[in-house]
Amino acid sequence: MFPYISVLLAVLLVGAVITFLTRTREQARVVAVITTWIGFGITLIMALKYDPALGLKNFEESYTWIPSIGIGYHVGVDGVGFPMALLTTLVSAFCAVYAWGEKLRPNQFFGLLVLMDLALTGVFVSLDFFLFYIFWELTLIPMFFLIGIWGGPRKDYSAIKFLIYTHVASVIMLLGIFAMFYFNFKATGVYTFDIVALLNAYQALPLEPFWKNFIFAALLFGFLVKMPAVPFHTWLPDAHVEAPTIGSILLAGVLLKMGGYGLFRFLLPMIPNASNLFIYVIAVFGIVSIWYSAVAALAQKDIKKLVAFSSIGHMGFISLGVAASIAIGAEIPRIFAQTGAMFQLFSHGIVTSVLFGSAGVIEHHTGTRIIEDLGGLTKKMPRFAFLMVAGFFASLGLPGMSGFIAEFSILVGSYPQLPIFVIIAVTSIPVVAGYHLWAVQRAMFGPYNEHLGNITDVTWYEFAALAMWVFLIILLGIYPMPIFDMMNSTATYFVGSVLPTGGIVP
């Protein structure tokens, strides 16, 4: 079979290197756009060839790499990994268009963008822990430099906080991986870092409770920091506020998804063997994130920070959906909750891209992001206003847009298992709608703020990128089936075969 994934990774790697080596801005952006769109094209072809019945065998490739300690090059995708890979290449491709006007060190900027695309795609397709960890860590480096070189005034602090915070989480996760490796070796005498093998081993082996919980907690910590869940979220608003627009889009749109992806790929299959307490832990993290972010967003003066907090809230819904899909209950709602949570990963990726893209447009065109200094932008930027308002509506969960599908499925699917948690989550919706609408009202409508002077509407490349995202949001809001079905089949497999009984009655 044609090695789609390896070709995809190779194209992105070569593209990143070439972009770094380009001399002029023109060359850099053309190479970056071509590379990321080829990558997007490859994933689209893969989407057509994807077979839900195959599960992780889709586009699987497996070679030995460092056999002496059981490391292999093993890649493959299923209904969790593939939509994420698609999201990565899609967002990166649109970002390359959006960033068309970048003037500062363009070859490095676009090179880092393509490198980011590579690292993130790699995370979602890896099926070997060593390979996975390499890509997982590789995502930090382009983001660190994106924040550090193109960032705002407090970029030093934010960049290093981002790097250290998430790196600490990664190394703790690595210890969990080591422990899995060791216990598998102890039981079978085989060295392997293969993800599927180790996850199966975790279920099959009679581990001591301490190690069982340690492994689970170490991985969970790694993912919760990445998502991020309150109270491990403090690096995120800082990173977002200082990051350049592209950095924010990639950070919120794709990088945070690594945490959610980790929950599905690693922790769900481990649940039956882990302590039941973890169901509550995950659900509580979800609820706290939802409410805390809603209240915090209300108080934000900076529109980008507001958007950053909205991301934390949306990721909270994912935690809730995951918890609901492993709590005891009927199979149908659990599948529904899980599919919704997976869909939220994808949907939030494109919705938040529009929001951060809009915040970026406002900053580039007016020179400020403080909501109170804006006002009446619709009068000067009518085309932009349409796209931005569409994005905000999608974020607050307006029916007919992709965010609604996701959150509706999560809430409906979770209610039978975790009714109290769902009620608490639902009551946050007015607040969520409130801060979105309030921000739009103050920034976009009302009388035009004359202090802003004469501003221009969006440039063609910003418009093109935002419009593509909005188009997708509406398309998936009306007809989510292509992606929803893909996820649904994987969720059915998880719930039906891996976790047939579920956890505890709440």
Q: Quick one: 151 or 391, whose CB is closer to other proteins?
A: 151
Question: Which of 141, 433, 467, 475 is the binder for other proteins (CB under 8 A)?
Answer: 141
Question: Which of 37, 178, 386, 438 is the binder for other proteins (CB under 8 A)?
Answer: 178
Question: Which of 7, 14, 168, 423 is the binder for other proteins (CB under 8 A)?
Answer: 168
Among residue numbers 50 through 89, which ones bind other proteins (CB under 8 A)? 65-69
d(CA 29, CA 31): 5
* Cβ neighbours of residue 352 closer than 8 Å, sequence gap 6 or more: 249, 252, 253, 307, 310, 311, 314, 395
d(CA 245, CA 361): 9
Among residue numbers 101 through 130, which ones bind other proteins (CB under 8 A)? 130
d(CA 352, CA 354): 5
Which part of the chain contacts other proteins (CB under 8 A), choosing from 166-174, 298-306, 404-412, 452-460?
Answer: 166-174
d(CA 404, CA 396): 8
* Cβ neighbours of residue 448 closer than 8 Å, sequence gap 6 or more: 375, 376, 377, 379, 380
Q: Quick one: 47 or 172, whose CB is closer to other proteins?
A: 172
- Report the nearest approach of other proteins to the CB of residue 167 (Å): 5
Q: Quick one: 246 or 439, whose CB is closer to other proteins?
A: 246
Which part of the chain contacts other proteins (CB under 8 A), choosing from 41-49, 139-147, 232-240, 375-383?
Answer: 139-147
* Cβ neighbours of residue 385 closer than 8 Å, sequence gap 6 or more: 377, 378, 444
- Name the 3-class secondary structure at 495: helix
133 binds other proteins (CB under 8 A): yes
Given a contact cutoff of 8 angstroms between Cβ atoms, the answer to whether 376 and 488 are in contact is no
Residue type, 332: I
Given a contact cutoff of 8 angstroms between Cβ atoms, the answer to whether 183 and 207 are in contact is yes
Q: Quick one: 162 or 463, whose CB is closer to other proteins?
A: 162
Dihedral pair phi/psi, residue 73, rounded to 5°: -95, 100
User: Which residues, in sequence order, are bridge partners of residue 66?
Assistant: 71
Residue type, 155: K
156 binds other proteins (CB under 8 A): yes
Question: Which of 34, 41, 167, 373 is the binder for other proteins (CB under 8 A)?
Answer: 167
Q: Quick one: 38 or 149, whose CB is closer to other proteins?
A: 149
Q: Quick one: 137 or 363, whose CB is closer to other proteins?
A: 137
- Report the nearest approach of other proteins to the CB of residue 357 (Å): 24
- Report the nearest approach of other proteins to the CB of residue 252 (Å): 22
d(CA 502, CA 252): 31
d(CA 75, CA 62): 6
Among residue numbers 179 through 218, which ones bind other proteins (CB under 8 A)? 179, 181-182, 185, 214
Question: Which of 40, 94, 100, 145 is the binder for other proteins (CB under 8 A)?
Answer: 145
404 binds other proteins (CB under 8 A): no
- Report the nearest approach of other proteins to the CB of residue 160 (Å): 6
**Alpha-carbon dihedral angle through residues 193, 199, 201, 205, given to the nearest 10 degrees:** 130
- Report the nearest approach of other proteins to the CB of residue 386 (Å): 37
| Residues that bind other proteins in the complex, under the rule CB under 8 A | 65-69, 130, 133-134, 137-138, 140-141, 144-145, 148-149, 155-156, 159-160, 163-164, 167-168, 171-172, 174-175, 178-179, 181-182, 185, 214
